[in-house]
Structure 1
Amino acid sequence: MGACPCGTGRDYDDCCGPLHAGVPAADAQALMRSRYSAYVREDADYLLRSWHRSTRPHALAFDEPRPAWLRLEVLRHVATGPDSAEVEFVARYRIGGGSVVRMRERSRFLREDGNWFYLDAVGG
């Protein structure tokens, strides 16, 4: 399929593809990268499945105008407890012919029954 959108340099089928197909993420950073790839691929089902039930929206739509995701840079991945972690990242995107937007975020993740879930964002 080609290079994975998450920026590891690995092939999608050897990187985020297995997670999108149901393989559990090894850690919060892997889940965060797979979620970025899911946004690039507009895979709403995966995004909802990997969202913690306490903060998960009922539905997820990709509204117009759609961003063109350009690059992901992971700045930091830290365990905050035995089953919790934070990943700080910068994602760059562009809408139409506009300027590149730099989105910085600190995302929180929880592990339940061996599976990591996105909880929420706590700012950048």
Structure 2
Amino acid sequence: MFAKGPYTGRLAAIVQIIDHKRVLLEGPSSNPAQHVPRQSAPLSHVSLTSIVIPKLPLAVGQSGLKKQWESEKVEDKFNNSVYAKSKAKLARRKELSDFERFKVMVLRKQARFEVRKSVAQSKGKA
């Protein structure tokens, strides 16, 4: 996944390792807006995930990579990961209006009160 640069936040597969600081990447996403063309990128601009496409040949072609990408369901695996869910949660929080942020604050306050009340009751019984 790209961490910096024009393709920030997009998924890509490492097709080949160029040297100890650069890799060749391509992201054959089914969504055209998320597609990443084949390019070299420094490892400092890339964040590695635990998703692996097994037995991916070196310098695999575009069609071969796309077939394996879809057969391994890389995008689905990533969307179900904890990182993607927390990223979506943060994006949702950024879009909240002032009143919606207030409602979230009130709900969190109520939940905290209920937790403290139940903890106090359990300490009182013990």
Larger Rg: 2
Higher relative contact order (CA 8 A, sep 6+): 1
> What's the TM-score once normalised by structure 2's chain length?
0.23
Name the structure where helix makes up a greater proportion of residues.
Answer: 2
TM-score (norm 1): 0.23
More strand by proportion, 1 or 2?
A: 1
